[in-house]
Structure 1
Amino acid sequence: MALNYPELADQWEDDKCFQSPSALHGWLTGFLSAGARLTTDSWLQEAADYLEIEAVTEGLHPLLVGFYADVVDTLGAEDMAYQVLLPDDEEADVDEQVECLAQWSKGFLDGLGASGKITGRPDKDVMEVLQDLDAFSQAQVDDVNDPENVQLLNELAEHARVAALTVFYAYNKPQQPPAGATQKTLH
């Protein structure tokens, strides 16, 4: 399921969700990137808590289930298909898109912390991208008429995407065979 920002935003508005789809996407990405996983029920409760709603409605339930599946699938995809969830040009002005990127970045850091999986000091590459995301969480557009805003937004969004994948690959290592296990050789 590809995430559809307008559909999500409409449902978020109907359910009076406090956080944006971008913020929740960042939170879930950070949580999963740390190596944590959730059951469906746990995910729905975490999402409701983060969105600051009392309960997940019938309209929101399938979107959140698909949301989780999409983030898990794209983060771990060999083709690196993962994308930061932002409204596109037809849905939002560049200043709103930058605000959503800032919300995504803050959400990522919140989710990483909520996972409880990161202990000790992260390696240099991870630390660097986390510092970048912290800076992105405060991004804003100074001059809405600057023609370079769109290019800068695209560069920041790509950097955030690569940052998420960097953290994901650092904390989600492929399973290794048990020590002493032999591999069969095909002849």
Structure 2
Amino acid sequence: MDFNQVSEVLAPFPELESASFVHGMLVGLMSGDSEIKETVWIKKLIEEADIKSVKESFLQVLHQLYLETDAGLNGSGFDFALCIPDDTEELGFRASMLGQWAEGYLYGMGLLGKSDKDLAREVIEFLSDLGDIAGIDAAGLSEPGDEEEADFMEISEFVRMGVLMVNEELNPTQAAPIMEAECPTDTLQ
């Protein structure tokens, strides 16, 4: 989902912070509860921001965001992408949006009310790392070099892969059982 497209429909609702925050919240909810329905997510979003009315375009973009996120999380994982600005934007802005994405993810997971005792150690460690990323200070990144760009890409990929790990941990895929091959016993005699 295009960051700018989502940002455009969210612009009238500053309470929602950013497209990155909203997507992070959705992914956090979906990672914590694979059965979360689109209507439940949109209702939570509207209630949390105390939104009184929305346009159809708002609902259409959220619908598309939900479908693409569900396909990315529950597919091969190769299609899963964070809703953050592309690399044509300033690094400081992208880093800030990655921080908001992490904040939204933690918020979404928090809405589910899972405690540490419900989570594996790796998941707890990842959520702690996301807390650090959510507090990212993007000041001073307006004139980045290649090293800072590489660091940002590495952190973005860490977040993406960590989310896929958490999703798999909390919502393991159910592989079809392997059927035993039938072997006629009379041919062995």
Match of 2:106 in 1: 109
Partner deviation per Cα, 1:142-186 (whole Å, 9 max, x = no partner): 422231222111111101101111110000012478xxx995747
- Name the residue aligned to 1:68: 66
| TM-score normalised by length of structure 2 | 0.84
Percentage identity across aligned positions? 22
Cα distance change, pair 113–185 in 1 and its aligned pair in 2 (3 A): farther
CA distance in 2, matches of 1:133, 1:97: 16
The residue type equivalent to 2:73 in the other structure is: L
> Counterpart of 1:140?
137
Q: How big is the shift at 1:132?
A: 0.8
The 5 A counterparts of 1:76-91 are: 76-90=74-88
CA distance in 2, matches of 1:46, 1:101: 22
Look up the equivalent residue of 1:156 and give its one-letter code.
I
Distance 2:173 2:87 in 1: 37
8 Å contact kept, 1:35–1:117: no
Taking only aligned residues, the RMSD between alpha carbons, in angstroms, comes to 2.4
Q: CA deviation at 1:4?
A: 1.3
Task: Extract unaligned runs of 5+ from structure 1.
Answer: none
Counterpart secondary structure, 1:174:
coil
What's the counterpart of residue 44 of structure 1? 42
Deviation at 1:52, TM superposition (A): 4.6
Structure 2 residues without counterparts, runs of 5 or longer: 184-189
| Distance across 1 between alignment mates of 2:21 and 2:80 | 16
1:20 pairs with one of 14, 18, 21: 18
- Matched-pair contact (CA < 8 Å) for 1:33–1:164: yes
- The number of equivalent residue pairs is 180
Higher helix proportion: 2
TM-score by length of 1: 0.84
Letter of the 2:83 partner, please give it.
Answer: L
* Contact 1:20–1:103 under 8 Å retained in 2: yes
> How many angstroms does 1:28 deviate by?
0.7
